[in-house]
């Protein structure tokens, strides 16, 4: 079923990009670059880049800490300080890390912020998290409230509201900490580069329509989105990385190979799945291996839409920079209504010719999780396919039950196999 692990050029590039990010961040103060804490969904990477500030993404720190098995200590530290076991583990991981000296996942100290920029997009807990951070730092604060698409559409009023906040609140605060005015042409250049990288990333995700799929759009997908969901959007490095990634995927496609996984290349694909919800980070590889061992490949996922719905068609528009940033924030996946999210899932199941879909519900994230059981039934109705449902958490290892998840996935896939009559390998599409 699998072949030995072979590192591809884009993997090394991605790893180097992120390592470089943390090193540059650690040097930000000596480089005299203002530090801005913000969040991933609805982040304003191009705008921050135009001011040459150093962004920090607390969720990225949390998930990177979890992948390095450091999140449990941080969570315990936050709970000792009075934070409830009921609340989001990303928040507690971040606060615990701060309490322990703000040493980041790579072992380097993360500098304190000059500006807290809340991109309040698609997650109410961001606002509370941000209030907790603000109590710890004496710095500038900017709030960007992104209205939720509760009624299923982006209205002109929503767009105007976001643009007004950018003009009256966010840009003036950035100008203050950066010490210079916004250069709109520089912003446009960055948006143009974003668009180029977004084209390549969308192509990569769309490649999963082939059989065998040359990518895993969930477990592999989280590596692909790393640069474009964070500080690299709008940079030449991102353009180069996504071009390289596309070339790697094109090569796999030409060779009829499946995705590279930690357990080897998965070319013998028995099940094509769409996955809803974020992954578990504390046992990421074990989690992936459950799917891999069953010959299941994720051909599409919703988590890879939280920092931009590129696979669904969104592109930044350099001709309308602020409106484009507003539309980006408004259209992130977790800012969509539940019926819209169900439709995205159902469309993916059809467009990627999936055998089924799995909802991974995480305790920490009400934005994703509240209503997912209803979504499951809605998508079943829309597609005629049964869905699978598993539960764990983002970065709290106490909520990851490997055997339970493994049993559920195996049972679900056996049911899919039984439904189609036999566990036959999927055919290669001409």
Interface with other proteins by CB under 8 A: which residues?
81-84, 86-88, 91, 120, 123-125, 127-129, 131-132, 134-135, 143-145, 147-148, 150-151, 157-158, 160-161, 164-165, 168-169, 337-342, 361, 363, 365-367, 369-374, 378, 391
The residue among 119 and 261 lying less far from other proteins, judged by its C-beta, is 119
Q: Can you tell me whether residue 146 is helix, strand or coil?
A: coil
Give the span between the Cα atoms of 252 and 246, in whole angstroms: 10
Distances (CA, A) of 401 to 282, 296, 404: 11, 20, 5
Q: How far is the CB of 334 from other proteins (least distance, A)?
A: 8
* Sign of the C-alpha dihedral computed for residues 53, 178, 126 and 343 taken in this order: negative
Judge contact between 236 and 194, C-beta under 8 A: no
Report how far Cα 230 is from the mean position of its chain's Cα atoms: 9
Tokens at 226, concatenated: 């790393």
The residue among 217 and 359 lying less far from other proteins, judged by its C-beta, is 359
The residue among 267 and 392 lying less far from other proteins, judged by its C-beta, is 392
User: Residues of 345-384 as b/e, b for ≥16 C-beta within 10 angstroms?
Assistant: bbbbbeebebbbbbbbbbbbbebbbeebeebbebbbeebe
The residue among 147 and 401 lying less far from other proteins, judged by its C-beta, is 147
Q: How far is the CB of 169 from other proteins (least distance, A)?
A: 5
Q: How far is the CB of 183 from other proteins (least distance, A)?
A: 23
The residue among 370 and 418 lying less far from other proteins, judged by its C-beta, is 370
Q: How far is the CB of 90 from other proteins (least distance, A)?
A: 11
Judge contact between 295 and 379, C-beta under 8 A: no
Q: Partners of 271 in the beta sheet? A: 296
Q: How far is the CB of 216 from other proteins (least distance, A)?
A: 26
The residue among 41 and 214 lying less far from other proteins, judged by its C-beta, is 41
Q: How far is the CB of 306 from other proteins (least distance, A)?
A: 13
Q: How far is the CB of 82 from other proteins (least distance, A)?
A: 4
The residue among 76 and 134 lying less far from other proteins, judged by its C-beta, is 134
Cis before 212? omega within 30: yes
Phi, psi of 222 (to 5 degrees): -65, -25
């Amino acid at each position: 079923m699998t072949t030995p692990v072979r590192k591809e050029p884009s993997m090394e590039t991605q790893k180097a990009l992120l390592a470089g990010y943390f090193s540059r961040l650690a040097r930000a103060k000596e480089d005299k670059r203002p530090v801005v804490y913000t969040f991933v969904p609805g982040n304003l990477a191009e705008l921050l880049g135009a001011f040459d500030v150093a962004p920090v993404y607390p969720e990225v720190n949390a998930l990177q800490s979890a992948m390095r098995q450091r999140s449990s200590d941080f969570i315990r530290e936050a709970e000792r300080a009075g934070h409830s076991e009921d609340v989001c583990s990303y928040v507690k991981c971040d606060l615990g890390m701060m309490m322990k000296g703000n040493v980041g996942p790579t072992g380097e100290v993360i500098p304190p912020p000059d500006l807290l920029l809340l991109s309040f997009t698609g997650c109410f807990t961001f606002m509370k998290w941000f209030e907790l951070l603000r109590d710890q730092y004496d710095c500038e604060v900017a709030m960007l409230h992104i209205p939720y698409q509760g009624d299923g559409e982006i209205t002109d009023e929503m767009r105007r509201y976001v643009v007004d906040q950018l003009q009256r609140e966010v840009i003036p605060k950035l100008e203050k900490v950066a010490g210079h005015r916004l250069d709109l042409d520089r912003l446009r250049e960055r948006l143009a580069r974003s668009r180029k990288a977004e084209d390549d990333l969308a192509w990569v995700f769309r490649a999963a329509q082939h059989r065998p799929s040359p990518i895993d759009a969930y477990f592999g997908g989280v590596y692909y989105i790393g640069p474009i969901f964070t500080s690299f959007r709008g940079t030449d490095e991102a353009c180069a990385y996504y071009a390289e990634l596309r070339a790697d995927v094109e090569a796999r496609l030409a060779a009829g190979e499946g995705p590279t996984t930690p357990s080897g290349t998965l070319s013998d694909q028995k099940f094509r799945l769409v996955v809803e919800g974020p992954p578990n980070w504390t046992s990421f590889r074990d989690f992936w291996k459950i799917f891999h061992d069953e010959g299941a490949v994720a051909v599409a996922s919703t988590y890879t839409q939280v920092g931009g719905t590129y696979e669904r068609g969104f592109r930044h528009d350099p001709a309308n920079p602020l409106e484009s940033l507003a539309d980006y924030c408004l259209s992130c996946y977790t800012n969509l209504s539940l019926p819209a999210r169900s439709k995205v899932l159902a469309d993916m199941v059809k467009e990627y010719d999936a055998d089924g879909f799995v909802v991974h519900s995480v305790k920490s994230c009400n934005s994703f999780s509240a209503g997912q059981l209803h979504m499951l039934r809605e998508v079943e109705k829309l597609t005629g396919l049964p869905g699978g449902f598993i539960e764990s958490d983002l970065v709290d290892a106490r909520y990851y039950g490997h055997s339970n998840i493994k049993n559920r996935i195996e049972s679900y896939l056996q049911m899919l196999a039984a439904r189609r009559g036999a566990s036959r390998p999927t055919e290669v599409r001409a």
